[in-house]
Amino acid sequence: MKELLNNHIAIVYGDIGLTNFWSTFQTNVKYIIFAATLWFMIREWKSKAVGKMIMAFIVGAILFVLTLNPETVLQPIGQKLMQMIGAS
Protein backbone atom coordinates (compact mmCIF):
# COMPACT_ATOMS: atom_id res chain seq x y z
CA MET A 1 0.00 0.00 0.00
CA LYS A 2 2.83 2.39 0.86
CA GLU A 3 4.52 1.76 -2.52
CA LEU A 4 1.25 2.44 -4.30
CA LEU A 5 0.77 5.69 -2.37
CA ASN A 6 4.36 6.82 -3.05
CA ASN A 7 3.97 6.02 -6.75
CA HIS A 8 0.65 7.89 -6.89
CA ILE A 9 2.14 10.96 -5.15
CA ALA A 10 5.14 10.97 -7.50
CA ILE A 11 2.91 10.72 -10.57
CA VAL A 12 0.49 13.41 -9.41
CA TYR A 13 3.30 15.81 -8.40
CA GLY A 14 5.02 15.24 -11.75
CA ASP A 15 1.80 15.62 -13.76
CA ILE A 16 0.68 18.91 -12.27
CA GLY A 17 4.15 20.34 -11.71
CA LEU A 18 4.32 20.27 -7.92
CA THR A 19 7.72 18.59 -7.67
CA ASN A 20 9.41 21.86 -6.65
CA PHE A 21 6.35 23.40 -5.03
CA TRP A 22 7.55 23.19 -1.44
CA SER A 23 10.99 24.69 -2.09
CA THR A 24 9.44 27.47 -4.19
CA PHE A 25 6.89 28.12 -1.44
CA GLN A 26 9.65 28.27 1.18
CA THR A 27 11.59 30.89 -0.73
CA ASN A 28 8.56 33.07 -1.56
CA VAL A 29 6.39 32.77 1.56
CA LYS A 30 7.97 35.84 3.16
CA TYR A 31 6.65 37.98 0.28
CA ILE A 32 3.20 36.45 0.58
CA ILE A 33 3.11 37.15 4.32
CA PHE A 34 4.35 40.71 3.79
CA ALA A 35 1.69 41.44 1.15
CA ALA A 36 -1.10 39.83 3.20
CA THR A 37 -0.10 41.77 6.32
CA LEU A 38 0.05 45.03 4.41
CA TRP A 39 -3.36 44.37 2.82
CA PHE A 40 -4.95 43.51 6.17
CA MET A 41 -3.42 46.56 7.84
CA ILE A 42 -4.74 48.88 5.11
CA ARG A 43 -8.19 47.28 5.33
CA GLU A 44 -8.30 47.77 9.10
CA TRP A 45 -6.98 51.33 8.81
CA LYS A 46 -9.82 52.20 6.41
CA SER A 47 -12.39 50.78 8.82
CA LYS A 48 -10.86 52.80 11.71
CA ALA A 49 -9.89 49.67 13.66
CA VAL A 50 -6.45 50.77 14.80
CA GLY A 51 -6.15 48.04 17.43
CA LYS A 52 -6.69 45.31 14.85
CA MET A 53 -4.23 47.05 12.55
CA ILE A 54 -1.55 47.00 15.24
CA MET A 55 -2.23 43.33 15.99
CA ALA A 56 -2.00 42.53 12.28
CA PHE A 57 1.37 44.27 12.19
CA ILE A 58 2.66 42.34 15.20
CA VAL A 59 1.47 38.94 13.96
CA GLY A 60 2.69 39.66 10.42
CA ALA A 61 6.09 40.78 11.70
CA ILE A 62 6.49 37.61 13.77
CA LEU A 63 5.52 35.39 10.84
CA PHE A 64 7.81 37.34 8.52
CA VAL A 65 10.79 36.93 10.85
CA LEU A 66 10.09 33.21 11.30
CA THR A 67 10.01 32.67 7.54
CA LEU A 68 13.15 34.64 6.68
CA ASN A 69 15.17 31.46 7.04
CA PRO A 70 13.07 28.54 5.73
CA GLU A 71 15.36 25.92 7.26
CA THR A 72 14.35 26.92 10.79
CA VAL A 73 10.57 26.59 10.55
CA LEU A 74 9.24 25.56 7.16
CA GLN A 75 11.62 22.78 6.20
CA PRO A 76 10.89 20.57 9.25
CA ILE A 77 7.16 21.14 8.80
CA GLY A 78 7.35 20.17 5.12
CA GLN A 79 9.38 17.07 5.88
CA LYS A 80 6.90 16.02 8.56
CA LEU A 81 3.96 16.54 6.19
CA MET A 82 5.65 14.46 3.50
CA GLN A 83 6.28 11.71 6.07
CA MET A 84 2.65 11.82 7.19
CA ILE A 85 1.34 11.33 3.66
CA GLY A 86 3.96 8.68 3.01
CA ALA A 87 5.94 10.45 0.30
CA SER A 88 9.36 10.01 1.90
Q: What's the pLDDT tens digit per position in 37-61?
A: 999 999 999 999 989 999 989 998 8
Give 70's pLDDT tier (boundaries 50, 70, 90). low
Enumerate residues 6+ apart whose C-beta is below 8 A from 19: 13
21-39 pLDDT per residue, tens: 667 777 788 888 889 999 9
At residue 22's C-alpha, the angle toward residues 17 and 28, to 5°, is: 105
pLDDT above 70 coverage of the chain, percent: 66
67 contacts 33 by C-beta, under 8 angstroms:
yes
pTM over 0.85: no
Residue 81 · residue 73 · CB < 8 Å? no
